[in-house]
Amino acid sequence: MFKKILIANRGEIACRVAATARRMAVKTVAVYSDADASAKHVGFCDEAVHIGGSAPKDSYLRWERIIEAAKATGAEAIHPGYGFLSENEEFAQACQDAGLVFIGPPASAIKAMGLKAESKQLMEKAGVPLVPGYHGADQSPALLRSEADRIGYPVLIKASAGGGGKGMRAVEKAEDFEAALASCKREAINSFGDDAVLVEKYAQRPRHIEIQVFGDMHGNYVYLFERDCSVQRRHQKVLEEAPAPGMTEAMRRQMGEAAVAAARAVNYVGAGTVEFIVEQRPDGSMNFFFMEMNTRLQVEHPVTEAITGLDLVEWQLRVASGEPLPLAQAQLKINGHAIEARICAENPANNFLPTTGTLNVYDKPACTAFERGVIRIDDGVRQGDTISPFYDSMVAKLIVHGQTREEALARLDEALAQTRIVGLTTNVQFLRHVVRSPSFANANLDTALIPREAAVLFHQEPVGLALAAASAIAQALLAEKAAEGHDPFSRRDGWQTHGVTQRPFEFEFHGEPAKASLTYGHDGSLQLAVGDVSGPLVFSKSAQGIDLQFAGQRLSVTVHAQGEVDHVFTARGATQITAIDLLAHAGESHAEGGRLSAPMPGKILSFLVKAGDRVEKGQPLAVMEAMKMEHTIAAPAAGVVEELMYAPGDQVSEGVELLKIAV
């Protein structure tokens, strides 16, 4: 076994590979770009080498620099992860030429499978069933058009060098072919530097089912069963599971053997995935066709690990160091069901456009061991880290395992509920909607699931205004109480305030203004009215957040305030509500004892008063910038300014005292 390896990647996969290496007492070398100087993977490895600027072409794609780093640190082998250099045959060859082991297949196998058209020609010879189509060398538009006519519409034009869901155009009818071809070629040349295309029959409502294969240097091959990755957006996977629902033993063996034949045809070594498009017949039978082979470890490999109990990175390291495959086909068994959800920085409501931001809050479910039903999180970020525009938008992978699909599904839903991210728009809530959609719950899977379930997925409000407002108010009152607790002179009984019996709140919820009114009873009880819902509001602090009772409902909520926006998380879903006068309220409460604190982290723009000034109630005192907005902090009562604690330009954290006022 190797003593030291270099991991030529970043993020979750770099951490994932390092974890197995550590378990096997193999030392690890990380590489990092400027943007990743303090990234999780850097600290996770035994040593780290800076390799250049933030853009991938200046760092993670600079293979000469990476090979240099491996030699300088005494690493014997390089693990490429996925993406970046993982499917670059020149890099694999350069490693070998430099006397380093590339932890992956031989350069010749990467090359053979690198172009979709060439690999289809190879597969045809190996007897692997192909999607009907044209994958020849003649690229004249007239010929491609006549091939499309022959195949029959709809067809899919694919960049032969494509990947990551890019460079594909579906064509519904003959008249649209030329324009689609031109636009596909433009994207292909821009993204992959190669505009060769192939044309395929565009399967209707197909499933994406892929087979994990493994080969060693001694000519042994196995398949580690299938993964169903049909749930996609932009031709990219969102949810993956193993085994594939409805898969029969006979079909599994047939697909497994076809995948092994594909691997054998290119003398494959290491971990690889053969992707098939599967057509479902009305009678329930399935027809499978080769789509492409990914010559690397796949993002979704953990579901295979969960059902087989194996560590695929360990297998990769063993095979790369020359050992035979640890197990033979007959020794491989499927146990239970596993599902992976990709948590991405993206906005489902805006066509899944990637987003950037900071993980101000990043709460995760507790990970559990195998015997308790696995909850596993693979990520490469920590709370406080930023998702930058330079790299992939995937934040984390959440993997669950259960004895049955139902069990795994329930566990996934709960684990997603416990995944609370604030500061960054993500698909977490969307994923919960998918998991609970009738199609997904009933394993009615195909690549059109998301558009088909659009009504359930995009227009759902799991937490309504009344509960959102009640949660925000409960949180604000608990914060006030906590603040008072530190100051014996302002301690009050229960929620009683001096002379105040009613308190108005203004909110914005889904772009609509909303009002709420809180009434303090003499006995310390609270009545809340939000829109046309009213009743007693009862709450208490719990380990998780707040135990809340309102409007005939009782639930546990967690509220994270970011500026004026309260992010409300409950078991049934998450929502956001904007407290329009939150600052004034926060100021009021914090100011009761003559102090004013920052209601959120931000920058002081200016102080509008100086020490010694007499101020009136409501007079603006300071302006802060937070969450790209300006906020004015006003005097809660008349008094004299005693001291300013900061200067304009200072960065302040939440809760710090900004100025003192003698009332």
- Closest distance to Mg ion from the beta carbon of 273 (Å): 8
Out of ligand ADP, Mg ion, none, which partner does residue 600 contact, by CB within 5 to 8 A per kind? none
Q: Which does 208 bind (CB under 5 to 8 A by kind): Mg ion, ligand ADP, none?
A: ligand ADP
Number of CB atoms found within 10 A of residue 491's CB:
12
In whole angstroms, the minimum distance from the beta carbon of 85 to Mg ion comes to 18
- Can you read off the two tokens belonging to residue 145? 């058009």
Q: In 401-411, which positions are buried (b, 16+ CB within 10 angstroms) versus exposed (e)? A: bbeebeebbeb
Q: Which of 65/235 has CB closer to Mg ion?
A: 235
Phi-psi region of 159 (alpha: psi -120 to 50; beta: other; left: phi over 0): beta
CB of 207 to ligand ADP, least distance (A): 9
Residue 156 site contact among ligand ADP, Mg ion, none (CB < 5 to 8 Å, cut-off depends on kind): ligand ADP
CA distance 397 to 389: 19
Please report how close the Cβ of residue 45 comes to ligand ADP at its closest, in angstroms.
Answer: 20
If the CB atoms of residues 429 and 447 are measured against ligand ADP, the closer one turns out to be: 447
Q: How far is the CB of 28 from Mg ion (least distance, A)?
A: 28
**CB within 8 A of 371, min separation 6: which ones?**
none
Cα 34 versus chain centre, distance: 22
Q: Which is nearer to ligand ADP, 10 or 560 (CB)?
A: 10
> Is the distance from CB of 550 to CB of 470 less than 8 angstroms?
yes
Residue 277 binds what, of ligand ADP, Mg ion, none (CB under 5 to 8 Å, by partner type)?
A: ligand ADP
Q: How far is the CB of 375 from ligand ADP (least distance, A)?
A: 21
The listed partner (Mg ion, ligand ADP, none) that binds 235, CB under 5 to 8 Å by sort, is ligand ADP
CA–CA separation, 656 and 607 (whole Å): 15
**Site of interaction with ligand ADP (CB under 6 A):** 82-83, 131, 156, 162-165, 200-203, 206, 208, 232, 235-237, 275, 277, 291-292, 294, 298-300, 392, 394, 447
Kindly tell me which of 18 and 113 has the beta carbon lying closer to Mg ion. 113
The secondary element (H helix, E strand) that includes residue 42 is helix 40-44
Query: Closest CB to ligand ADP among 206 and 365?
Result: 206
* Number of shown-chain residues binding Mg ion (CB under 5 A): 1
Tell me the C-alpha distance between 44 and 38, whole Å: 11
Query: Per CB under 5 A, which region of 40-48, 269-277, 434-442, 640-648 contacts Mg ion?
Result: 269-277
Catalytic residue (choose from 10, 227, 233, 296): 296
Residue 76 contacts which entry, ligand ADP, Mg ion, none (Cβ below 5-8 A, type-dependent): none
For helices 465-485 and 582-591, the axis angle rounded to 10 degrees is: 20
Residue 274 identity = V
Nearer to ligand ADP, 260 or 299 (CB): 299
Residue 297 CA to residue 311 CA, distance in Å, equals: 12
Task: Please choose, out of 272-280, 351-359, 497-505, 590-598, the segment that lies near Mg ion by the rule CB under 5 A.
Answer: 272-280
420 is catalytic: no
Q: Cβ of residue 232: shortest distance to ligand ADP, in angstroms?
A: 5
Q: Are 107 and 93 in contact (CB under 8 A)?
A: yes
Q: Helices 249-265 and 116-125 meet at what angle, rounded to 10?
A: 110
Q: Which helix (H) or strand (E) holds 118?
A: helix 116-125
CA distance 187 to 190: 5
Contact 639, 627 (CB under 8 A): no
- Among the listed ranges 77-85, 174-182, 273-281, 645-653, the one in contact with Mg ion (CB under 5 A) is 273-281
Nearer to Mg ion, 69 or 113 (CB): 113
498: number of CA atoms within 13 Å, CB side?
5
Task: Find which of ligand ADP, Mg ion, none residue 322 binds, CB within 5 to 8 Å per kind.
Answer: none
Residue 82's binding partner out of ligand ADP, Mg ion, none, with CB under 5 to 8 Å set by partner kind = ligand ADP
- Alpha-carbon dihedral 13, 17, 18, 19, rounded to 10 degrees: 100
522 DSSP 8-state letter: T
Q: Rounded CA gap, 274 and 292, in Å?
A: 6
Residue closer to Mg ion by CB (options 447, 475) is 447
In whole angstroms, the minimum distance from the beta carbon of 165 to Mg ion comes to 8
Query: Which residues carry out catalysis?
Result: 296
Q: Which residues bind Mg ion (CB under 5 A)?
A: 275
